[in-house]
Amino acid sequence: MTLLDGVTGSGKTEVYFEAVADTIRRGRQSLILMPEIALTAQFLDRFAARFGVRPAEWHSELSPRKRARTWRAVADGEVSVVVGARSALFLPYADLGLIVVDEEHDQAYKQEDGVRYHARDMAVVRGHVAHIPVVLSSATPSLETEVNARRGRYKRLHLPERFGGQSMPSVEAIDLRRERPPPGRFIAPSLAGAVQTALERGEQALFFLNRRGYAPLTLCRACGFRFSCPNCDAWLVDHRFRRQLICHHCGFAMPHPAACPNCQAMNSFAAIGPGVERLEEEVRELFPQARVLVLSSDLVVTVDRLRAELDDVAAGRFDIVIGTQLVAKGHHFPKLNLVGIVDADLGLNNGDPRAAERTFQLLHQVVGRAGRDAGIGHGYLQTHQPEHPVMRALIAQDREAFYSAEIVAREQAGYPPFGRLASLVISGEDKHDTQSFARALARAAPADDGVRVLGPADAPLSLVRGRHRLRLLVKAPRAFDLSAYLRDWLAAAPKPKGSLKLDIDVDPQSFL
């Protein structure tokens, strides 16, 4: 197992292309896993330029006929290279000789419904069983992979500099406690000034905000009524492009009403907080001559349309891009030299034990879009807590310090990769029945000095699609046989009846 650990723009793709070329020369097949293969047209073009032919693709956007042809060609050995999403790992390869997991830290590799698995971990298992090399590639490795590399379980191939001598972007914090944007605005004056300077130099700028829609909350100024989903424990998100209030968890949607449902006040609604659509309004007012594009998953009409928009950005046909995490997926924009993170604190304030790690990875990847081709890259973090370890590590560009501190904190707390977790989510249509079953399930947990069973407690999203949700969390040492413990527990525990449902996730990635 090899960790291909290189800074953004260091040429990691070209390195593992050489491994693919060697595998082809030996007459064996290669698999390249990617978190969002349907969106990576640039990667496919680079592959075709390097090898003279495009690889076989495997992802959810394939037509049934194309899927069947690809499956058969892989089984017959007619395909040398497959580039695919996580399910490509289970194709019937005639002679698989190499597995590459690109952006191995990405959360998209975890299958969250049906049969739950992590494609990165399954790739490592498959490589071990078949005695074939596995390459894990990332500029911000997962903590699990980083620990394995530090302890010598994985070989590390380090690329500390960008290809062609380009320097890494400088990173600066904008302390929103001291420099507040104007009322009703969300871009600090210093960030707006830096973007204006970049535009005058003929460069592109990116505003990053990982929040879809126009505003995350709509309330009535007269009575304080807030629009919430009737099926979920969540606020309705204002989507001005669609002219709807939408729940991002169940899909419920309603048009904007003229009057408040609670007090009947007319035209009394206020949008609270920014989404990328609201940010676009502000950007167009600040930079009226700029060509602006919003990239967000809810605005994707077709994959081909998205690929065309990404090509337009790479060709310099837009001056300012406003995007969610969609823009952090390894895209290469030659003229992009400035990145502004509008709300750098957004991912830190939740109960996920991986919150700091994920925030660091996401913001590092986004800032890494800047200065990859020519010129000097700059990143700006708008934050209310510039003293936070994540912000300090990003500003100082001290990745090693962040990982070292995070590893110590995880080890002391017994969290992965130094401990095991299992999530048991009980859901049901009747709240009382759901609570009663959850308590009965907790009482049936086998006693073990090495295991802690926490809960039941309301899940952070306690109501989804009309179903009440409670969570039990099992915490165990790393070497503990957690699967056997769960099997024994469930064999002796009461069984869910009626509308009750029990979902079990070992090593969960989501804590909602």
54 and 133 housed in the same domain: yes
Query: Could you tell me if 331 and 307 lie in one domain?
Result: yes
Name the DSSP letter for residue 290: S
Beta-carbon contacts of residue 320 (< 8 Å; ≥ 6 apart): 195, 199, 204, 205, 206, 207, 283, 287, 290, 291, 292, 293
Question: Is residue 40 a part of any domain in this protein?
Answer: yes
* 187 domain residue, yes or no: yes
The two beta strands, 29-33 and 96-102, are: parallel
Domain end (from 392, 410, 428): 410
Using DSSP's 3-state secondary structure scheme, residue 346 falls into coil
Task: Answer whether 277's CB lies under 8 Å from 239's CB.
Answer: yes
Q: How confident is the model at residue 241 (pLDDT cuts 50, 70, 90)?
A: confident
Whether 480 and 464 share a structural domain? yes
Q: Pick the residue with more confidence: 43 or 80?
A: 80
Instruction: Identify the burial level of 372 via C-beta atoms within 10 angstroms of its C-beta, where 0-12 means exposed, 13-18 middle and 19 or more buried.
Output: buried
Question: In this structure, are 371 and 329 located in the same domain?
Answer: yes
Regarding beta strands 292-295 and 56-58, do their DSSP bridges make them parallel or antiparallel, or are they unpaired?
Answer: unpaired
The CA distance from 30 to 19, in Å, is 9
Token pair in block for residue 429: 């249509």
Could you tell me which of 237, 261, 268, 269 has the C-alpha nearest to residue 250?
A: 237
Token digits of residue 73: 């060609």
Cα torsion angle, 248, 252, 255, 256, sign: negative
The confidence score (pLDDT) of residue 301 equals: 67
Q: Quick check: is 512 in a domain?
A: no
- Tell whether 299 and 374 lie within a shared domain: yes
pLDDT at 38: 59
Cβ-count burial 263-286 (b if 16+ within 10 Å, e if not)? eeeeeebebebbbbbbbbebbeeb
CATH number at residue 495: 3.30.70
CATH value at residue 376: 3.40.50.300
Neighbour count for residue 169 (Cβ, 10 Å): 24
Query: Domain count of the chain?
Result: 4
Question: What's the mean pLDDT in 4-20?
Answer: 93
Q: Please give the backbone phi and psi of residue 386, each rounded to the nearest 5 degrees, phi first.
A: -65, -15
In a domain, 245, yes or no: yes
Higher-pLDDT residue of 432, 44: 432
Per-residue pLDDT tens for 85-96?
A: 999 999 999 999
What does the pLDDT look like over 446-505, one tens digit per residue?
999 889 999 999 998 999 999 999 999 999 999 999 999 999 999 999 999 999 999 999
Peptide bond into 55 cis (omega under 30): no
> What pLDDT was estimated at residue 30?
98
- Among residues 410, 441, 475, the one where a domain terminates is 410
pLDDT at residue 247, rounded to an integer: 95
Strand partners, 82: 31, 56
- Indicate whether 42 pLDDT > 80: no
Least confident of 38-42, 155-159, 320-324, 412-416: 38-42
Residues 41 and 55 in one domain: yes
Mean pLDDT of 299-304: 73
Q: How high is the pLDDT of residue 230?
A: 94
- Determine, yes or no, domain membership for 85: yes
Q: Are residues 302 and 327 in the same domain?
A: yes
Any domain includes 484 = yes
Rounded to an integer, the average pLDDT of 116-124 is 95
Q: Which H or E run contains 440?
A: helix 431-443
Least Cα distance to 260 among 215, 228, 219, 232 occurs for 219
User: Does 308 map to a domain?
Assistant: yes
CA angle 202, 203, 204 (to 5 degrees): 130
More confident residue, 135 or 45: 135
pLDDT at 299: 75
The mean pLDDT of the chain is 92
Distance from C-alpha of 74 to C-alpha of 87, rounded to nearest angstrom: 14
How does pLDDT run across 193-232, given as a tens digit for each residue?
999 999 999 999 999 999 999 999 999 999 999 999 999 9
Asked if residue 511 is part of any domain, the answer here is: no
Nearest to 341 by CA among 216, 186, 213, 237: 186
pTM above 0.85, yes or no: yes
Whether 174 and 156 map to the same domain: the answer is no
Q: Do residues 432 and 452 both lie within one domain? A: yes
Structure tokens at 406: 């995070």
CA–CA distances in Å: residue 34 to residues 50, 58, 59, 436, 510: 18, 10, 10, 42, 20
- Same domain for 391 and 302, yes or no, is yes
Given a contact cutoff of 8 angstroms between Cβ atoms, the answer to whether 16 and 98 are in contact is: no
Say if residue 159 is in the same domain as residue 244. no
Range of the domain at 142: 2-163
Of 379, 410, 441, which residue constitutes the final position of a domain?
Answer: 410
Q: What is the DSSP letter of 172?
A: E
Burial of 327 from C-beta contacts in 10 A (0-12 / 13-18 / 19+): buried
pLDDT value of residue 39: 60
